[in-house]
Structure 1
């Protein structure tokens, strides 16, 4: 991704290897600059970490801009005088090798712990290259701390900043710890895909009995007026306690709307807490409250599936 920012010219045809967040973000940038974008992804959806229903909304919109080749992988890359020729195999693979002006490899980041010579200071680096730390960001050497990507997933700037705060406070003598309930993830694409807390897949893996509630932006006056009515806000609730345990938003500026959901999870809010909070109208932000109303069965902006029939 760093190399992609250093290109001297805008490639006419760009292949993005990997349909994760970084690849799609860079594809979004270069599409805006005029590039023709192909994305090859070995899984059956882009952004594999996100829930399928959320990605489905995103894919429908992005397919108008990108040529998505899912369940497909690259088998050979050959640089020639007139471009880079790429051969692929899989469900959406073209029969012949395709010529591109540039190829972006966006299949993940590798920790560089073994390149830091941390071992010379006695700091332990695991086999993958990560440095292990405790909840105060201390390494196995008590006076040496580590933060950011080097200490493990998720590799996100806002996570690293908070780790830095905690490490500095601990060094200053405070009894602080890095122990967040949730860390938000956002794909800065158009539309944006943002989620925080548990996904449905994670809830299933943890054996949590859950229920989802979604509010389609097609029912939002603000979204209709802003030409982004194809978005969606989704909340995931613990079925027994009714507490919100996760949420996702796909739509224009979706990442800007995620904060309330993250705070609700940290504070242990239930659906009623969110539904009874008055949200400004007309806003995209009110879709969070309306999704909670869907779960509660108090929604009036949509047909109420939970309404009690007399």
Structure 2
């Protein structure tokens, strides 16, 4: 059997894996990356990027249908808008193809050898690679000094409602060949809410079933309220405090909090109850690594319990965010190259692309209270923001949380149209140890949504100007 050798071997070409490869290549570390599909992983090929493309298409179609259905204050009228779903999916796939091609080109530019195939771990320094089906390449092995595990995650499947037929995961939901007349979404987390909203805007009747008593249970309740109001306007039916029992004859069986069972008609069912680290099916158990629940346990350097084996991204647990994986991948490459690094971010921003969007970074008021920190908090509503008025998006607010004694900013939260673009500023201010005064005295461009950030800081200091 042919055996290749390298300094760094990366299993998985998602955001963490490919960024680690690029950075290792820049630092002249001999690197091989093994990926069974296209470089880019779940996020780029069947996750973050395609979902945001579908959400954008749904938003544009929704605007068109709204203008056709009622008189617009903007003076815009349309007749009989239609959507060609095949063209929409092709456009989305085109974006994915351009981005995956770009990732491949960057890896090649920096001397990273990319091998398409499926890896199976033999030991901490040896991996066997099975080429893709139809390939004439024989099975071969790769020996390495450092093994970086970046295999990502996969959708959680309900044992009593397995994927197949009308029951789909987010992967299938992002490449529909038709719009279901009736869609049932199981799970009101960010994936269920993002895709459920998009399908509703594209014409499906959507019912969301959630075991908790509110949507987006992982987010602050105040942030979820504008999203719930938007869902009500769109006509999305919410079945909260309700469990799913199974599916029979095109109907989803559910039970509410009082124990009453009922059935929901469904042409398609999107199961979005979370994701889990991809730890089975590729020999990982042979290493007998320490676990942290379903994830691999890692230290501040992303080392596993086997010193030369590293793990990053979703495989290393929450938060399962592409940008966290990227930061970890860059760090590991630098450590292997001899630099000193550790993973200790002050804040990792998270964005929910619902309607309206949600962004959080750092501590919420509740988290600060639970941590025993004396804090001050203030919010500024978009209903008092000029830019929000001009884009017809008055729902939502920006909120800041800061220490009471020295005004160091601990966290930011926002809900509103386009607030995802505030994430960078939120994280940067926390990472740099900014105080309320730093943000309040920074001149913010007018008219922008970002002015609400300054106004929230001013309000926390007791002298907001526009409310």
TM over 0.5: yes
Contact residue 408 and residue 433 of structure 2 kept, 8 A: yes
Deviation of 1:93 after TM superposition, in Å, equals 9.4
Query: Which structure: larger Rg?
Result: 2
Structure 2 Cα separation of the partners of residues 38 and 293 of structure 1: 41
Does the residue aligned with 1:287 lie in a helix, a strand or coil?
helix
Higher deviation after alignment, 22-31 or 108-117: 108-117
1:99-178 equivalent positions in 2, closer than 5 A? 99-120=265-286, 122-126=287-291, 128-178=293-343
1:91 to partner: Cα distance: 5.4
| Contact 1:133 1:151 survives alignment (8 Å) | yes
Distance 1:292 1:117 in 2: 51
Aligned equivalent of 2:185: 16
- Residue 247 of structure 2, aligned match among 77, 81, 106: 77
From 238, 241, 244, the equivalent of 2:403 is 238
2:199 pairs with 30, 38, 41, which one? 30
Matches of 1:301 and 1:30, distance apart in 2: 38
**Superposition CA RMSD, Å:** 1.9
Corresponding residue number in structure 1 for 2:68:
none
2:232 paired with 1:67:
no
* Cα distance change, pair 94–212 in 1 and its aligned pair in 2 (3 A): farther
Structure 1 runs not aligned, ≥5 long: 303-310
Cα 1:245–1:93 shift into 2, 3 Å? farther
Aligned residues: 297
> Relative contact order (alpha carbons < 8 A, sep ≥ 6): 1 or 2 greater?
2
Paired with 1:146 and 1:94, the residues of 2 have a C-alpha distance of 45
Report the Cα distance in structure 2 between the residues aligned to 1:262 and 1:9, rounded to whole angstroms: 39
| Cα distance change, pair 300–30 in 1 and its aligned pair in 2 (3 A) | same
In the superposition, the TM-score normalised over structure 2's length comes to 0.61
| Superposition deviation, residue 67 in structure 1 | 1.3
Distance in 2, Cα, partners of 1:249 & 1:91: 31
1:53 is matched with 222
The C-alpha deviation readout for 1:210-262, integer Å capped at 9, x for no partner, is: 22211000101110111001121111122222221111111111111122121
> 3-state SS of the aligned residue for 1:103?
strand
SS for the counterpart of 1:114 is coil
Does the CA-based 8 Å contact 2:197-2:231 persist in structure 1? no
Superposition misfits of 4+ residues, deviation over 3 angstroms: 91-96
Give the Cα separation in 2 of the matches to 1:123 and 1:200: 40
- TM-score by length of structure 1 reads 0.90
Name the SS for the 2:252 alignment partner: strand
